[in-house]
Structure 1
Amino acid sequence: MESIRSMKDGASYTLLKDTENEQANQLVQSYYKKPKEVLVLVDSRDYEQIERFTDYSFSKNEEKILLESEDLPIYRRSKIADYWVFDRLTKKLQRVSEQKIQEPLLSPDGKKVAYVFQRNIYIKDLINERTRQLTFDGNYETLNGITDWVYEEEFGFVRAFDWSLDSKQLVYMRFDESKVPIFSMDIYGSDLYQFPYMFRYPKAGEENSTVELFVVNLDTNQKSKVLFGDEKPVYIPRIKFGGGQNSLIIQTINRHQNHLKLWRWDTQKKSLKLVLEEKDDAYVSIHDNLKFLEDNSFLWTSERNGFNHIYHYEQNGKLIRRLTKGPWEVTSLYLINPKLKELYYQSVEDGSTERRVYAVKLNGKGKRLIQGSKGTNGASFSADGSYYIHSFSDEQTPPRFSLYQTKNNRLLNLILDNKGLKDKIDEFGFSDREFSTVTINGEQLNTWMIKPVDFDPSKEYPLLLFQYSGPGSQQVANRWGDQRLLWHKMLANQGYIVACVDGRGTGFKGAAFKKVTYLNLVKYESLDQIAAAQYFGNLSFVDKDRIGIWGWSFGGHMAAHCLLTGNDVFSMAIAVAPVTNWRFYDTIYTERFMRTPQENPQGYDLNSPLNYVDQLQGKFLIIHGSADDNVHVQNTMRMVEALIQEDKQFEWMIYPDKNHGIFGGYTRKHLYTKMTNFIYNNL
């Protein structure tokens, strides 16, 4: 269902559909009113050079389809792949480039496609099939049109260029990485010698890339630089054409990430206008909730009043009105229905562990509940808002997709209910999670608990705490679980109680709750997990001498820190791919919450498990992938060395050439077997 795209007619949608043997697939079109009637737009079996499509997109006029195949990942979001353009009128398929390329984007008029190859931007004319190179300085220090590692990871995007609405201009970002330090990690592979994989990675307090913005007139080839005057923006986390003729919208933010500015650059007059500002004592979060209306006014979300809500602004940045308010957060901004003048959004108004879908008029009135069943409700609307596909899941219900007509909120069709998955899971006889809240350190914290299916309240059970705990994150939510949750339920049926607590710093309970951890990452989070473990340990059915904790990434940092600083509470911990000192992590993420090590040395060092290894008393397993480009294995190596020099015994596992996800082949099975056996033997 992730491949669904609504067509601009508002009456139909497209999606990728597997063929019978699941080797090939088709891009098909269906109508909301008649979803069983399927029109095949493109079939990968018709082309020898394409086994299956991995992604697709349309030109704005929907005459061309950009098709992706044979993609190869680079980092978390970036990839190279083969790309093809299918002409819906002529049925002709042409390859964009003979090489694997990055981030192709069709022009709005469907006549060209821009892409990146080896850090330079190219434009292919789809009519005469000629390709021209737009930039020439891309190399190991310079990127054009794609982001560097830290932007990709922390600002969440790779494509760093955009077409103007009339297809006559292209804006792109140029990254100069020359002053960014190089990180190297060995790739062991299968050859006689390993080789060093090197890439530029700015650790906290170090130099970032210098970023510039250029606009190219494609008729004249004239290139102009976007000038910020006396402004010297450190980061440019978003760019897009929109909001009027010759209007380029740019977001900039300072290095502390507590002062965001929204600009409009007039590409014809070459003038800059400040539209909106966001300031915060801690930090301002980057989002994708900027949406323009037909009159070029726009919607925006902000936490400025303590909770994330929707605001409507005029084109010049003057506030028209606030559309939502209350002690709850808007979690998704979907779409504006121009006929009904309604805005559709998702929020946690019914509780931070739940998700509901609402509508509100642009005049701020007429709010109505669209989907409000207990659990996690979501929606994918047609282009004009006339229809939507409702997604729903909860603890007992796997993802279910249903088609609705929006105006009367009328159910038209059940698309997918995953009943077979539900029946299969039920065969294992797992217990459900029990959701509740606990009062810890003066706060009401969300929690879930899984008990053995044959739970006996007169017995004492060992307890395993799972958590992630990162800023704005959430693990306690009423939704269908993943494979990790099934593992937790398996452990419960082996005689363990498994619990999870979202402590201070996690999301969807307001800015104050989330930002209390500012400058001291893992301090308050650890205090909450330790106190939660003490609370659970006082329950009659929990063995307080057998309490463990585990987590991955930020959660791995937390597991290690809690085991050491809460050594009278926790008897065991597993840390997977942990940060062990924030000095080792990247600039954008770390400094957002901690500022730089030069400004806040105590915040970095007092919250590093490296400095508490002498306090290890319990059993400790640390796991890492040797090719983790995100949280470098350096973190684990430094931890291991510190433990050795304190003469502390522990267990560890390194997965060769595996990244932060630690997967591939039997790797993930091996990892969970390793953790399972460690728990059986030590908890």
Structure 2
Amino acid sequence: MRTILLASTILLSAGSAVAQESPSNILTPERVFSSPSLNGPVAKGVSLSPDGQLVAFLRSREDNVDVQDLWAAPTGEGEPYKLIDARALVPDAGELSEAEKARRERMRISARGVVDYSWDQQGRYILAPLEGDIFLASRADGKVRRLTETAADEIDAKVSPKGNYVSWVRDQNLVIYDLATGQETPITDDGAGLIAWATAEFIAQEEMDRDTGYWWSPDERYIALTRVDESPVDIVPRFEITGTGATMVEQRYPRAGRPNALVELYVRDQQTGARVKVDLGSNTDIYLARVDWADDGKTLYVQRQSRDQKTLDLLSVDPATGASRVILSQKAQAWVDLNNDFHVLADGRFIWSNEDSGWRHLYLYDRNGRQLRAITRGDYPVKHLDGVNEQTGEVYFTASMRDGKELPIEQQMFRASLNRTVDPVAVTPAGGWWNVSVNGPATAYVGNYSDPKTPPQSALYRIDGTRVRWIEENRLDADHAFAPYVSRLRTPEFGTIQSHGETLVWRMTTPPDFDPSKKYPVVMQVYGGPGTGAGVQKSWQPLTNQLLTEAGYIVFRVDNRGEGDRSQAFETSLYRRLGLPAVEDQALAAKWLKTLPYVDPDHIAVMGWSFGGFLSLLTLTDKDADLAAALAGAAPTEWSLYDTHYTERYMSTPQDNPDGYAATDVLPRLDDLTGRLLILHGMADDNVIFGNATRVIDALQAKSTPFEMMLYPGQRHGVRGEPRQLQQWRTYLDFLDRTIGKRAEPAAD
């Protein structure tokens, strides 16, 4: 269950005070959901060319924030320029295939135009899929070459490491395109129906952060590729309801406790054409988690996760024969989290992270899997390995910490040593939220920074933190799109609450012209689910938060147990009872809010989407929270209806944990609703199936319980496009206005 940002899944009303004609410095939903973006020119997907001379990035068009072009900027002198103009190359975008729609939904890609790109290892080419076809930009002459123009979509396109080939998946088969000859060669030909080659299956895409199903070796001799057989997976019939009708979709959906797809791994020798099967063991009911090549292309590393997710094995594979051996295993009593920290060094040693200390840290291993030393240590988790400079022996990683202790609300990049265990040194400044992308040799990085007063900025830096050039300075000055509204932008307050021996962090934003002698209604924003990053951050906040404060609401968020990158104990507290510790913490926060002199205790609502929708429902049925209203979007309402990898990680199977599944079912709690409810759901949702909503709708109607509902024909797990998002926000603010806001009944004396 990947996070759906609250900013894209909340709502307003044409009848609310905010939506009426208002002073020019008051932010309105109409302005938030129109172009150009009020966030300013934000660079997305920023990367440095392998030769270090060019920075590429995606930028939304000024005339349509939902369409992206590919831009580039020299790392030295010179202005950024548009490398690929999406609308110039494909003026009429047309419809994507159902397979590509589903893939983008899994990857949470809502934009059109250029949504992804990749370099070859020499930096000669940039490959960009565009509206189902493949385009190649040449660094030498700046020309853009169209490689495909077919009725079928080409997906998951890549430039081979040395830049001799381009590869993609078409109609469930892998195709190789020779750039020198222009010749296409199908690598597989029997992909069809329930068989797909070189494609990440539903579970890998949605829950395992693996979006590809094939991997080139660095020398281009081999390609490792998956074969996915979906025939064991249950068919879950669902209606895909649009504005013009309905289609019955017989979706292969692997629900908790039920069979998964069969995933095999093969290696094809590009010199001989031979294909060998990789030995993944006799048990086929496993997860293929990660695949990596050694630098010399002579060893393939495979991460194999057990079905119960308590064991993660690292296999060393001979690509010529497919023979494998387990060189390292990670084990846990609850579950072993997947990560992208595995990094092979040139001499065969490798870096990998684990949580054996109770916190995720980096360790150095020899080529046979023997641990040599800890690279990091302390009471904080390493979030991810960013890069390794093998010449200097420096290791770079991202963490939320200060002085060796966790600091969840900030994020920085740090430097450690490959050769000895030392206290890390911060590379990026403290005080806000950094995301970085380090180049291959770890001599430079692209840094993306924001804080509550600074919209997202991107720049190129030397590895010591010296800024080389801005990519998007995005200065919040008088010319910035957000300038008219900045005077009413409130700086959030941060604090902590103690719960069950754990420290919960919170963020509170008060309305403009806040008067602590008055009482205000509160909107509690929730996600609350595990396996995601922190929600409470010292970063630039969604502009929709300001819509809420302009409407007179205090906006509050607390990261409950299980949410965010924290200690192993903090996360595993929810094991076999997913959602219950979260609602305990949200109820605790609600009770604390009611003690504040400026909070109206009878006018508190909770709102969330996906897991946040589930948690909103739980919190509205919790008597300790005693809330006035909830806005629940795309909520999973009974965990046996959700997918295997996510659900079984936290709940085991319904057969093994029937009491846990029963305790977290929303239906038995509906008699305990403490306030008004708004249910929202996409009517083509293929992730949290619409049946999750209809079972609650049916139960409430059977109980004669009034509630409100907003359904979105044709929309999947997220509501896309400015017009519909505007409608969402209008609906949300209208509901809040009537239940806890200006039009709500005054609190009893």
> Residue 358 of structure 1 aligns with which residue?
414
Matching residue of 2:50? 8
Conserved 8 A contact 1:9-1:383: no
Please tell me whether residue 173 in structure 1 is matched to residue 229 in structure 2.
Answer: no
Taking the TM superposition and a 5 Å limit, the aligned residue runs for 1:177-326 are 177-189=230-242, 191=244, 193-232=245-284, 234-326=286-378
Q: Structure 2: how far apart are the matches of 1:44 and 1:677?
A: 37
Contact 1:328 1:508 in 2 (8 A): no
Asked whether the 8 Å contact 1:233–1:252 carries over to 2, the reply is: no
The aligned length equals 666
Matching of residues 515-530 of structure 1 within 5 Å: 515-530=572-587
Matches of 1:372 and 1:397 in 2, distance apart?
14
Matched, 1:469 2:513: no
1:385 alignment partner, one of 431, 442, 451: 442
Point out the more displaced range, 313-322 or 5-14: 5-14
Letter in 1 for 2:550: M
TM-score (norm 1): 0.91
Q: Are 1:68 and 2:68 an aligned pair?
A: no
Indicate if the aligned counterparts of 2:167 and 2:174 stay in contact, CA closer than 8 A: yes
CA distance 1:545–1:176, change in 2 (3 Å): same
AA of the residue aligned to 1:238: R
Q: Could you say which residue in structure 2 is the equivalent of 1:478?
A: 538
Residue 410 and residue 85 in structure 1: after superposition, are their counterparts in 2 closer, same or farther (change >3 A)? closer
**The residue matched to 1:419 in structure 2 has which SS?**
coil
Q: Is the 8 A contact 2:262 2:285 kept in 1?
A: no
The answer for the alignment partner of 1:75 in structure 2 is none
Q: Please identify, of 510-519 and 300-309, the stretch whose mean Cα deviation from structure 2 is larger.
A: 300-309
Asked whether the 8 Å contact 1:544–1:569 carries over to 2, the reply is: no
- SS of 1:55 mapped into structure 2: coil
1-structure distance, mates of 2:613, 2:507: 19
Distance 1:617 1:13 in 2: 53
Q: CA separation in 2, counterparts of 1:45 and 1:461?
A: 47
Residue deviations 1:326-357 (CA, integer Å, cap 9, x gap): 00111232111233221111111121111122
SS at match of 1:268: coil
Amino acid at match of 1:363: N
Secondary structure in structure 2 of the residue aligned to 1:546: strand
1:640 and 1:390, CA in 2 relative to 1: closer, same or farther beyond 3 A?
A: same
**SS in structure 2 of the partner of residue 565 of structure 1:** coil
447-456 or 525-534, which moves further after superposition? 447-456
Q: 1:397, 1:480 → 2: CA distance?
A: 6
- Name the CA distance, whole Å, in 2 between partners of 1:246 and 1:443: 46
Give the Å deviation of 1:26: 5.9
| Alignment partner, residue 30 of structure 2 | none
CA distance in 2, matches of 1:423, 1:43: 26
- Unmatched tracts of structure 1, length 5 or more: 71-80
Aligned to 2:209: 156
In structure 2, the CA distance between the partners of 1:513 and 1:92, relative to structure 1 (3 Å rule), is: closer
CA-to-aligned-CA distance 1:19-42 (integer Å, 9 cap, x gap)? 9988995653512xx243668877
Q: Distance in 2 between matches of 1:266 and 1:39?
A: 44
Instruction: Quote how far apart the aligned CAs of 1:43 are.
Output: 6.9
Matched, 1:30 2:86: no
Q: Which moved more, 1:129-138 or 1:595-604?
A: 129-138
Distance 1:50 1:335 in 2: 40
Partners of 1:574 and 1:620 within 8 A in 2: yes
Aligned equivalents of 2:694, 2:506: Cα separation in 1: 33
- Which residue is equivalent to 2:433? 376
RMSD: 2.6
> 2 CA distance for matches of 1:240 and 1:650?
50
Higher relative contact order (CA 8 A, sep 6+): 2
Change beyond 3 A, Cα 1:195–1:114: same
Q: Secondary structure at the match of 2:547?
A: helix
Q: Is the 8 A contact 2:48 2:446 kept in 1?
A: no
Q: What is the SS of the residue equivalent to 1:528?
A: helix
Structure 1 SS opposite 2:557:
strand
TM-score (norm 2): 0.84
**Given the superposition, is the C-alpha separation of residues 104 and 97 from structure 1 closer, same or farther in structure 2, using an over 3 Å criterion?**
farther
Measure, in 1, the Cα distance between the counterparts of 2:459 and 2:127.
28
Q: Is the 8 A contact 1:616 1:648 kept in 2?
A: no
Tell me, yes or no, if the aligned pair for 1:19 and 1:26 is still in contact at 8 Å. Answer: no
Which residue does 1:73 correspond to in 2? Answer: none
Q: Distance in 1 between matches of 2:578 and 2:463?
A: 43
Separation in 2, partners of 1:230, 1:505: 34
Deviation of the 1:676 alpha carbon: 0.7
82-91 or 576-585: bigger deviation: 82-91
Tell me what 1:645 maps to. Answer: 702
Q: Displacement, 1:155?
A: 1.2
Query: Could you give the per-residue CA deviations for residues 237-271 of structure 1, whole angstroms, max 9, x where no partner exists?
Result: 11122254421111111111110001111112432
Q: Given the alignment of the two structures, is residue 456 of structure 1 paired with residue 515 of structure 2, yes or no?
A: yes
CA pair 627-567 structure 1, distance change in 2 beyond 3 A: farther
Matches within 5 A, 1:657-676: 657-676=714-733
| Native 8 Å contact 2:452 2:492 kept in 1 | yes
Give 1:390 shift: 3.0
Compute the displacement of 1:530 (Å): 1.0
* 1-structure distance, mates of 2:307, 2:484: 47
CA distance change for structure 1 residues 102 and 465 in 2, over 3 Å: closer, same or farther? same
The one-letter amino acid paired with 2:128 is L
Cα–Cα, structure 1 residues 62 and 356, in superposed 2: closer, same or farther, change >3 Å?
closer
- Whether the aligned pair in 2 keeps the contact of 1:567 and 1:615 (CA below 8 Å) is no
Structure 2 runs not aligned, ≥5 long: 1-42, 94-112, 741-749
Question: Aligned-pair distance for 1:566?
Answer: 2.5
Counting only pairs closer than 5 Å after superposition, residues 82-93 of structure 1 correspond to structure 2 as: 82-88=133-139, 93=145
Letter in 2 for 1:457: P
2: distance between equivalents of 1:311 and 1:322? 4
For the Cα contact (< 8 Å) 2:267–2:319, is it kept in 1? yes
State how far apart, in whole Å, the 1-side matches of 2:613 and 2:235 are. Answer: 25
Contact 2:358 2:567 (8 Å CA) reproduced: yes
| Cα distance change of structure 1 residues 623 and 50 upon mapping to structure 2, 3 Å threshold | closer
1 CA distance for matches of 2:373 and 2:627? 50
